[in-house]
Amino acid sequence: MESNRRDFIKKTLVGVTALSAGGILPGFSVRSYNRILGSNEKIRISVMGVNSRGKALAETYASQPNCDVIHICDVDRRAMEKCIASVTEIQQHQPKGLSDFRRSLESKDIDGMVIATPDHWHAPAAILSMQAGKHVYVEKPCSHNPAEGELLIKAADKCGKVIQMGNQRRSYPNVIKAIQELRNGAIGRSYLGKGWYTNNRGPIGIGKEVDVPEWLDWDLWQGPAPRKAYKDNIVHYNWHWRWHWGTGEALNNGTHMVDLLRWGLDVDFPTKVSSAGGRYRYKDDWETPDTQIINFEFGYNIAMTWEGRSCNGKTIEGSTVGALFYGENGSLMIDGNAYTIFDLESKVVKVVKNEEVIDARNLSNPASDLDSLHIQNFFSSIKTGEKLNSDIDSGHKSTLLVQLGNISQRVGHSLNIDPKTGHILDDKDAMQFWQRSYEKGWEIKL
């Protein structure tokens, strides 16, 4: 079964190479893929945070023909052992398990660190990894707050390491084609973008302070975040909905769609951001919005909006997650690795279908084979210096947009933004959320 999967991935990469020669994936070249697929020197990877999404990423990395996963790092002993067993079965040799990822960074055997921890760890771990001489693949969002995103950019420049954010759709072949169609005027001038995500998440209850489980290093799980008592409804997934560690549905899933909208509309920073919503469905410990609409205004008569409904799964345009562009001559909708072009009367003009199964509500592994393309782009940048499909500058800009939406939500009013820098203008209340406080001894240092 696994050999079939490896064969599929290899064939997929060769197929993408053919597309690249025609200009579909400008970040790749036939020469670089030949070097990657023909090389005996594998890139050695450590994966940090492997309970859910991290385990799926570790498995996908282990499936790459030019990769060895040699370290698995997690503060949850159960998750670490489970991931080690899975990766061992895939690559036929056992990675080393480490509870503290900093021990992995000390190893000269590691080329790159894959970070799939809770959000509050993303930027600090990425910066520590680059300072240790490692390349970095960090899941979205790249940071917990705007200040960390800017620090990431400075660290990448200072350390000279490759750092890629996990907004994998930047490497989906049909998504790239869709963006090219937009840029080539398929619907005329595009002036409005709409993105969305829907789900049927249940309540998380009211947590109780209990003893820390023996399988968990709670102190290291918190890491750079100021210390809080352990509660029984935080680890592992529900931290997403607590501002102290998480960033809500907006950055959990909204980052992907906002990134597509920003890419397609060819914009960087907005002039105004506003948000409406709240925790509407249940009364529990969930702090971030379960219902949210964020509006972005840009110069040049361009706007976009993102709608998130965590607790009502009614689809939009028949899709759980998607991005829709409106233009002078029609509209274009991206759904997974597929897209459809409509005229002004909503008549279908063109359909480009996806051959791979994507389950947008799969919490850990919605599209592993397509993710391989993003991983190979990361590897290609490490080995040959080719351009990343999602570098940290681009990743930060998309992350920042949604962070600004959350800040607007928290202060209860719209924000005026400097379109040159993305900084909030003349708003002391909002600037309280631009950065965070850190546990003593865990401050980020460049």
How crowded is the C-beta side of 88, counted as CA atoms within 13 Å?
A: 12
Q: pLDDT tens digit string along 399-432?
A: 999 999 999 999 999 999 999 999 999 999 999 9
The CATH class for the domain spanning 2-170+369-392 reads alpha beta
User: Token match 């080690």: residue?
Assistant: 84
End-to-end Cα, the chain, rounded Å: 45
Instruction: Please tell me the distance from the alpha carbon of residue 250 to that of residue 310, in angstroms, as a whole number.
Output: 10
90 sits in which H/E element = helix 77-91
Residue 142: other Cβ atoms inside 10 A? 31
- DSSP class per residue in 217-262: -HHHHHTTSPP---BTTTTTTGGGG-TTT--HHHHHTHHHHHHHHH
Q: pLDDT tens digit string along 303-349?
A: 999 999 999 999 999 999 999 999 999 999 999 999 999 999 999 99
Instruction: Please tell me the distance from the alpha carbon of residue 404 to that of residue 291, in angstroms, as a whole number.
Output: 16
Q: pLDDT tens digit string along 220-259?
A: 999 999 999 999 999 999 999 999 999 999 999 999 999 9
- DSSP class per residue in 200-221: B--------B-PPPTTB-HHHH
Cα–Cα distances (Å) from 53 to 86, 136, 406, in that order, read: 14, 16, 23
Q: pLDDT tens digit string along 121-173?
A: 999 999 999 999 999 999 999 999 999 999 999 999 999 999 999 999 999 99
Domain 172-208+216-360+393-431, second-level architecture: 2-Layer Sandwich (3.30)
Q: Smallest Cα–Cα separation from 399: which of 240, 251, 195, 222? A: 251
Residue 327: other Cβ atoms inside 10 A? 20
Give the per-residue pLDDT at 96.
98
Task: Verify cis geometry, omega within 30 degrees of 0, for the bond prior to 141.
Answer: yes
Q: For 185, which DSSP code?
A: T
Q: pLDDT tens digit string along 47-106?
A: 999 998 999 999 999 999 999 999 999 999 999 999 999 999 999 999 999 999 999 999
* pLDDT tier for residue 41 given thresholds of 50, 70 and 90: confident
pLDDT beyond 70 at 292: yes
* pLDDT tier for residue 35 given thresholds of 50, 70 and 90: very low
* pLDDT tier for residue 274 given thresholds of 50, 70 and 90: very high
Return all residues near 399 (Cβ < 8 A) that are at least 6 apart.
Answer: 140, 141, 142, 143, 149, 165, 251, 255
Can you give the length of the chain in residues?
A: 446
Sheet holding 67-73, edge to edge: 96-98, 67-73, 43-48, 112-115, 135-138, 163-165
Q: pLDDT tens digit string along 198-215?
A: 999 999 999 999 999 999
Give the per-residue pLDDT at 39.
44
Where exactly does CATH 3.30.360.10 map onto the chain? 172-208+216-360+393-431
pLDDT beyond 60 at 2: no
Where exactly does CATH 3.40.50.720 map onto the chain? 2-170+369-392
